[in-house]
Homo-oligomer: A and B are copies of this chain.
Amino acid sequence: MGAEIIDGKAFAAGIRDRVAEEVARLKAAGVAPGLAVILVGDDPASEVYVGHKRKATVAAGMASFEHRLPADVSEADLFALIDRLNADPEVHGILCQFPVPAHLDERRTVARIDPAKDVDGLSVANAGLLATGGDALVSCTPLGCLMLLRDRLGNLAGMEAVVVGRSNLFGKPMAQLLLRENCTVTIAHSRTKDLPDVCRRADILVAAVGRARMVRGDWVKPGATVIDVGITREAHPDKPGKTRLVGDVAFDEAEEVAAAITPVPGGVGPMTIACLLANTVTAACRIHDLPEPDGLTA
């Protein structure tokens, strides 16, 4: 037996193709969607991420605008740039690559971005819209997980969903999305008393705690769908000097019990950039009062 391995890479490629089609449709209607990325300082990891985003944005036919600011930029100068981008009709999505240097405040930075262009879905305004059933821009990783779940399970109504982890970035918006899909939703976390038992309730088990292999095989209900959002880098056991990525779920064990499971890497990860592009298309449609494409948002 063994679970179906959910191929997030292939699914994300499909979403990016859908985005490219929608971008072509929008351009034909006179709207060229554009994504602006702000990079403060020269963190090497951030450089890599921003490079991936640029490539994917251009590949989807969208305009990519990169703005690089020195590591010692003042908040006033950063905010002046954000204000300009908020007002720029060619820009439909704005993201500031985090982390920013310590003298800048991430929460204040996100709050400065027009919520209608906050394609990372990180602002308090978008959290409020999500929590009250409004038209939010939804944080990319939970949106990607929702897309994978809908693709595999169809209608999620009535299913027991357990989200382990309650971050603002992932766990809380994931729970809101599953509630919107009419799941019975439990949010578990480090203070949960019998975590294995709580996990065993789940038809849909989403793990996002950042602890390698914490969720064991016997925590998984037979036939469940398991979404592993954790990414921990650890020394490779067989290749000295090399590292590998592992998830929050003990994959080999869970794979024997679950009906379907996302691998790490190659599961949830590739969905994040795909959803950033999808959010930019959604933002462009809303800003221009055009119909939103199906399946690219929550």
Contacts and interface: CB of A to CB of B under 8 A. Distances in A.
Interface of A: 123-134, 157-160, 166, 168, 172, 175-176, 179, 182, 184-189, 191-193, 198
A127 B124 CA distance: 8
Contacts of A185: 186-187
Nearest to A169: B132
A231 to B, nearest CB: 23
Nearest to A183: B191
A134 B111 CA distance: 13
A interface, by DSSP: helix, strand, loop or mixed? mixed
Contacts of A198: 184
Given A124-B125, A158-B193, A193-B158, A184 B184 contact: no
A241 to B, nearest CB: 40
Contacts of A131: 124, 127-128, 130-131, 168, 172, 176
A132 B166 contact: no
A189 to B, nearest CB: 7
A144 to B, nearest CB: 20
A45 to B, nearest CB: 25
Contact of A124 (B128, B159, B184): B128
Q: Sorted from nearest, which 10 A-B pairs have the closest CB atoms?
A: A128-B128, A124-B128, A182-B191, A127-B128, A186-B186, A184-B192, A127-B131, A131-B131, A158-B193, A132-B168
B179 A184 contact: no
A188 B160 CA distance: 10
